[in-house]
Structure 1
C-alpha cells in the first residue's frame, strides 16, 4: 500500500469509495479486475470497516467512467508506468449493459433520429 512506484510489473492503485474514502494498493499488471476486487475484499482497510460488503463478487472497479469487466487485466488498460492510477470501487450486483446494447435496442424498435442542417 503505497503511492510510490512499485516493483517492476506492479501498478499503484488509489481506490475511492462512494463515500470519498481512499486507500492505496499495489497490484500486478497481469491481475484481472475481479482478482483486484477479491484482493481488496480480503485486505479490507480498517478505516473502511463501516462500508464493508458481504462478498467480493459484488465489488466493481470503475476506470475513466467505465465499469471494468472482471476478466480485464490492469495491463490491458495500458496504465501509465510509475504513476498511481485512480479508480472507483463500488458495490454492485451486476454490470450495466454496454452503450452499444442500447443502440441495438433502438434499431430493433425502428426508432430513428435525424436532423437536417440548411
Structure 2
C-alpha cells in the first residue's frame, strides 16, 4: 500500500506545484472576480499540505502496517480531490454549487488526521 500512496503523493505534488505556479503566473490577471484568486490559493495550499501528509503516510507504511494508515491515505487522497478539486473547478467555471461539496473534502481531511492519531494510539 505504501507504493500506491507514494505514487499518488508524487503525482499530487507535481500537480500542486504546477497549479500553484500556473495560478501565480498565468491566472493572476484572469481570476478577477472578488475572492476568486484567494479561493484558488486556498485550493493550492490545502492541496500541498495534504500531499505532504500523504507522503508521510506512504513513508510510515514502510515501517508500520496499520489499517488506520491506509484509511488516512485514502481520506487524504479523496480530500484533495474533493476539497481542492472542487475549488479549482469553481474558480475556472464559476459553478457556485461546487462550494456545497467542498466541505466534504474538508471532512475527509479531518478524518485522515484522526486516522493518523489512531495509528499513533494503536500501532506505535
TM-score, normalised to structure 2, is: 0.24
Query: Larger helix proportion, structure 1 or 2?
Result: 2
Query: Larger strand proportion, structure 1 or 2?
Result: 1
Rg larger in 1 or in 2?
A: 1
TM-score, normalised to structure 1, is: 0.25
